[in-house]
Structure 1
Amino acid sequence: MNDKSALKQLIESDEFSNRLNLDRKTYGLVFDRRTLNAMYEVIKKYNVDYIDFPISSGKESLIFNVKLRDKSTKAMKIYKMSTLKFSNTMEYIKGDYRFDKEKITRSNVVYVWTQKEYTNLQSLKNAAIHAPKPYGFYKNILLMSYLGTSRSPAPQIKDLNDNFNEIYIKLRSYIWKMYNKAGLVHADLSEYNILYYRKEPYIIDVGQSVSTKHPMADEFLKRDVTNITTFFHKKGVECDASKLYDYVKGDIND
């Protein structure tokens, strides 16, 4: 008796591959053949029981709430094979010494990007910075801790109504730690990629984050602190981009 999973049967089915021709017509799609194969491997390797509900949907990735067989909950981030632009990603990969030995092509850049986010999340974990904890990755799929309840994911700070002074003070220290302890600059920090979970801000979406030794690290840091202080200033918090920049670049975390 053939004991293949429904997913594996779908991948190998002639009707699936020929009628939809997913290997060629992948624009805007998440579940092309390569991604389905990667999902199958992730499900086996990490004992995923089932995919529960979508957490977020973006131009370059989708994130799902998934349940493992040990009853734990994780977040599965799937980078789209067709919409992560080679030219956009190379700005954040080229110049990062950690990936100097990677032979990056248009066909494997998504895989390198996934590995890069996993590596960055591991660095944040080691520096005791609130962020999703990395669990594993394979090809274009990243498995990490889920931030939220059984009904819904944690909100972005842009959707909150109060506590902005407290959040800014905590976030200020996390940006310092990220730079001085983890050796990273987020490079796309804003109110859209900071979640509020259990009364704490959590930094997410660190695929583009670069080493502080990256030639563009200083420019990325200036952009980050400008984005953050602009948002919090609108929420009534007394903050200044130049002061935050000087604080992050300083030697003392006061």
Structure 2
Amino acid sequence: MANNSDAALQAKIAGYVDILAKDPHSTVFVSLSDAYRQLGRLDEALDIARKGMQGLPWFSPGHVVLGQILMARGETGEALGCFNKALTLDGESIAAFKGLAAIYSQKGQTDIARQVLERAEQIHPGNSSIQHMLNRLSDVATPEPDLEPEPKTVVPKAEDIQPADAPIATTTIAELFVKQGLLSQACQVYRDILQANPDNAEVRIKLIELEGRLSADSQVEAVVEQEPLAVTTAEAEPLATLQRWLTAVRLRREHVQKDSAGHR
């Protein structure tokens, strides 16, 4: 069965190579590199995917297949950046969402993996492959990647491409953590993004802001813990003096009022 499958892939590869020979800018490079990935020929798959992306950097499925190849090579940091880029170009890419979830699952961050998949399920309700991965997250601590190649030979129309500021799954998860008050977890997500893409200035700014908030919160907590002590020592005498002064003023007013009443 395996030999028959390999033979079928080899036949497809021959067809894809012919297409690329006639049109070096064809999106069929995605199918070709994925076929090599399935055969375990990862060096050839990576070379073809990188060359294809040089001419078509806007093509989201190309970033997805590149991420899948890098995952197979164990280069999860760079794969994370590829899946993020794919979602920047196409905010509804199921394969990119699943790739991100697989990476976080492998890292043992199953909560983040689950939230990535739940985000994908909101966009694609009822999708069986997303539900399958969610079920596996509940049953297995670190499920194996369950990635499906996207359609690769169809060039998307310009109106179908999401704008550059389309939501990225990992930043979406970080923002969810911030809304829940889980600043430390949000910082960790941003650090993961920066590890894959150190030049992401927007994420770096957000991380700096969050780390500043965490530092400020720690200082406030320290001050709050010390405040009761300060009131009972340094401020105790001034408060007592003020209270005695107010009492004296009240008594003086009462005395003046009595004297005034007696002279009427």
TM exceeding 0.5: no
User: Which has the larger share of strand?
Assistant: 1
TM-score, normalised by the number of residues in structure 2: 0.31
Q: Which of 1 and 2 has greater Rg?
A: 2
User: Which has the larger share of helix?
Assistant: 2
TM-score, normalised by the number of residues in structure 1: 0.32
